[in-house]
Amino acid sequence: MSTATPPVTEAAEPVIRVIEPPKRWMPLNLGELWQYREMTLFLIFRELKIRYKQTVLGIFWAILQPFITMIVFSFVFGRIARMPSDGIPYPLFSYVGLLPWNFFSSGLSKASTSLNSNSSLIKKIYFPRLILPVTAILSGLVDFFLGTVMLAILYIYFAAAVAPVSPLVVNHAIPFINSDLALNAFNHAVRNYEITANVVWLPLLLLLSFTVALSLSLWFAALNVRFRDVAVAIGFLVRILLYLTPVIYPISRLDGVFQVLAALNPMTGVIEGFRWALLGVDTAPGIYVLISAAMSILLLIGGLYYFRRTESTFADLI
């Protein structure tokens, strides 16, 4: 009688990781972002959960913030300063500019400090550090899409305030109670503000806004690990950029050389592009978008290589 002997399994070979000194031009290894996609989704969800945790209004802050800012801008710049708005009602004009601007500024601020705010995670496990600024910016997409709900309401409101819809408003007092009236007002808004086929460019303009935020935040995030002054300067820099970007004024208001200088701002093409796509303004932003895209790509390539080169020191300095 023979006894069965268990199969002999070969011992797994140990994984050997060879640590080499950093090279001058290290490979970007962008493929790792796809390998860690589940971690990316988890960090986005965690960012949203932390942002609105223990708040009374929750995600409604994503709608209230640009709406209240629009009201302040409309009063200060639209009513008091009489800022031109290319024939568009100033609240609608400023809100369409605020949508991509808030996505950019919020993403830039959060991504620039994302390494320091996740220091415990960086010290414990390995993962591509690039995930942190990327997820910080992508989490702002939820706020952006919620903000478009208020944009639709503004469309209907301003359409209801002009003929031929306004007589119906008098009879019904609140147009949004009557679905037919709301649909009539929305169709009137589409005709008045010329929502044309240009709207198909919105995803590319949003991608360009993401690229601009990421390209700048890569530099600031890496620098903020070594110099904490960067975190303090970010808020100041964002406020200055707001006034240097045509959010509260049209770029057509600027003369000659100032238009060229404004075009060097990567967000100028994005803001003008959103107005062209959503409001049908006459000034097509072709050259501004091209300049913005060129500037953001140059900044992104430089930022990726600088981030990658300094990545190995994050865990020691943070």
pLDDT at 163: 47
DSSP 8-class letter at 226? H
Q: What is the mean pLDDT of the chain?
A: 82
Q: Round to whole Å and give the CA distance between 217 and 207.
A: 15
pTM equals 0.82
Phi, psi of 291 (to 5 degrees): -65, -40
Q: Round to whole Å and give the CA distance between 75 and 83.
A: 10
For the chain, what percent of residues have pLDDT higher than 90? 31
Most confident of 4-8, 66-70, 82-86, 124-128: 66-70
The residue ranking higher by pLDDT, 14 or 94, is 94
Which pLDDT band holds residue 247 (cuts at 50, 70, 90)?
very high
Count of Cβ atoms closer than 10 Å to residue 230 Cβ: 19
Q: Which two tokens stand for residue 219?
A: 């530099």
Q: Round to whole Å and give the CA distance between 15 and 20.
A: 16
Which pLDDT band holds residue 312 (cuts at 50, 70, 90)?
confident
Which residues, 6+ apart, have CB-to-CB distance to 247 below 8 Å?
Answer: 94, 97, 98, 101, 271
Task: For residues 64-69, give the mean pLDDT.
Answer: 91
Largest CA distance in the chain: 103
pLDDT at 315: 82
The residue ranking higher by pLDDT, 27 or 21, is 27
Which pLDDT band holds residue 238 (cuts at 50, 70, 90)?
very high
DSSP 8-class letter at 19? -
Place of tokens 């935040």: 217
| Angle at which helices 131-138 and 90-112 cross, to 10° | 160
Which pLDDT band holds residue 173 (cuts at 50, 70, 90)?
very low
pLDDT at 218: 94
Count of Cβ atoms closer than 10 Å to residue 223 Cβ: 18
Inform me whether the pLDDT recorded for 172 exceeds 90. no
For residue 314, give the nearest of 27, 109, 116 by alpha carbon.
Answer: 116
For residue 133, is the peptide bond before it cis, meaning its omega torsion is within 30 degrees of 0?
Answer: no
Which pLDDT band holds residue 220 (cuts at 50, 70, 90)?
very high
Which pLDDT band holds residue 144 (cuts at 50, 70, 90)?
very high
Task: For residues 50-71, give the mean pLDDT.
Answer: 85
pLDDT at 232: 87
